[in-house]
Amino acid sequence: MVRWSSVAAALVMVALVITTFGVAAAHFLMLLPETTEPTAADFFVEEGGSKTFWLIWGHPYEHVLFDCPAPERVWMVDPEGAVEELTATPTTVEGVQAWQVSYTFMKAGDYILCVELKAEEHEVWDYVKTIVHCGGEIWEGWNQNVGQKAEIMPYVRPYGIEEGFVFSGKALYNGEPLVGADVEVEMYHPKDVAEAVVSEAEARFQPNPSCMYTRVVTTDSDGEFSFTLDEPGIWYIAAYGPEEEGMEVRGVLQVAVGEAFPAPAAAAIPTELEKKVTSLESRVSGLEGALKAASPTLVYAAIVLSVIAIILSVVALALRRK
């Protein structure tokens, strides 16, 4: 006989698992400068220089990649607001379907690479943008409104910033403030880093490690928000608008954060091995002083024995570390 209470409980558990997976598996379109180990420096280019960007779909924090749907539109906005349509061509990154676009930056200032993508399987309609700075001290164009249906307007110049900066901006939908909207913030990890970071999160933040993958803030009555980008790397900031055609419309801004500059001076802390060697050297000096009055043969013998003792201590310490 079927116990319907047990069936109902099982269905609830399944629903919870599905919901949890949905939260943990936040998908983002990543615009990476032809590398899966990008740094903030990769978003700078000299006048006349070219860059190729990969369009990759997946989970930035966990570095889990999936086949990327074909973008609906890709375009570049130059520092003066001129728009150039770009053609994305298929490519493969780490064994999954991706896309790529190339562009030559001919004048100084800030360029905005924009992408519209519909991921119907995941019920997400994304409008993504990232800023590339060209040339020297002409910091113009980074805060342009590029006319995306859902768009994040940065209040902080999204380059030349370092870990610990507070980022603030305004979320728009059809040009109007997105009020009380969820804003997801997630950091990208290269493949060789992601596994260790995720393992640590799963060990420390049960039963919900995904809260560390995707952080959430909410826009105020003017559509504004702020968040501290506390680590160097590539960050994704996504503001959720209403549903259209059965998909959630998101405005996503990709922000490249550099390491602390200038780098803090690290105090020279002696290692355990260095401490041992220093201690033994001091003992050798003491023995030399005590044996000065003795015969030369005894002095040399004592020094040799001390050197052997130092070598044996170093070897023993090294073997213990292994």
- In the chain, % of residues over pLDDT 90: 71
pLDDT computed for residue 272 by the predictor: 64
Whether pLDDT at 290 is above 60: no
Other beta carbons less than 10 A from residue 281's beta carbon:
12
Residue 141: half-sphere exposure toward Cβ, Cα within 13 Å:
24
Could you tell me if residue 5 is inside a domain?
no
Pairing outcome for strands 247-257 and 124-134: parallel
Could you tell me if residue 131 is inside a domain?
yes
Q: Which of 257, 286, 305 is the C-terminal boundary of a domain?
A: 257
Q: What are phi and psi of 19, to 5 degrees?
A: -65, -45
- Give the range of the structural domain holding residue 306, as residue numbers without chain letter: 272-321
- Return the minimum-mean-pLDDT range out of 145-159, 199-213, 264-278: 264-278
Say if residue 127 is exposed, middle or buried (CB neighbours under 10 Å; 0-12, 13-18, 19+).
buried
pLDDT digits (tens, 9 = 90+) for 41-72: 999 999 999 999 999 999 999 999 999 999 99
Whether pLDDT at 247 is above 60: yes
Mean of pLDDT over the chain: 85
Could you tell me if residue 16 is inside a domain?
no
Could you tell me if residue 59 is inside a domain?
yes
Could you tell me if residue 52 is inside a domain?
yes
pLDDT band at 262 (very low <50, low <70, confident <90, very high): confident
Angle of helix 272-290 versus helix 296-321 axis, rounded to 10: 170
Number of domains in the chain: 2
- My answer on whether 311 and 220 are in the same domain is no
Q: Which of 212, 231, 257 is the C-terminal boundary of a domain?
A: 257
pLDDT computed for residue 319 by the predictor: 62
Whether pLDDT at 151 is above 80: yes
> Domain containing 143 — which CATH number?
2.60.40.1930
- My answer on whether 194 and 290 are in the same domain is no
With a CB cutoff of 8 Å and minimum separation 6, the contacts of 187 are: 60, 61, 231, 233, 234, 235, 236
Whether pLDDT at 3 is above 60: no
Greater model confidence, 265 or 8:
265
Q: Which of 257, 289, 312 is the C-terminal boundary of a domain?
A: 257
pLDDT computed for residue 240 by the predictor: 97
pLDDT band at 278 (very low <50, low <70, confident <90, very high): low
Could you tell me if residue 295 is inside a domain?
yes
- My answer on whether 249 and 283 are in the same domain is no
Could you tell me if residue 3 is inside a domain?
no
pLDDT band at 40 (very low <50, low <70, confident <90, very high): very high
- My answer on whether 248 and 282 are in the same domain is no
- My answer on whether 277 and 302 are in the same domain is yes
- My answer on whether 171 and 313 are in the same domain is no
pLDDT computed for residue 26 by the predictor: 81
Select from 53, 238, 193 the least CA-distant residue to 201.
Answer: 193
Whether pLDDT at 78 is above 90: yes
Whether pLDDT at 92 is above 70: yes
pLDDT band at 318 (very low <50, low <70, confident <90, very high): low
Could you tell me if residue 90 is inside a domain?
yes
- Return the minimum-mean-pLDDT range out of 18-32, 95-109, 210-224, 228-242: 18-32
Whether pLDDT at 219 is above 60: yes
Whether pLDDT at 265 is above 90: no
Which residue type sits at 42? D
Other beta carbons less than 10 A from residue 86's beta carbon:
17
- My answer on whether 291 and 212 are in the same domain is no
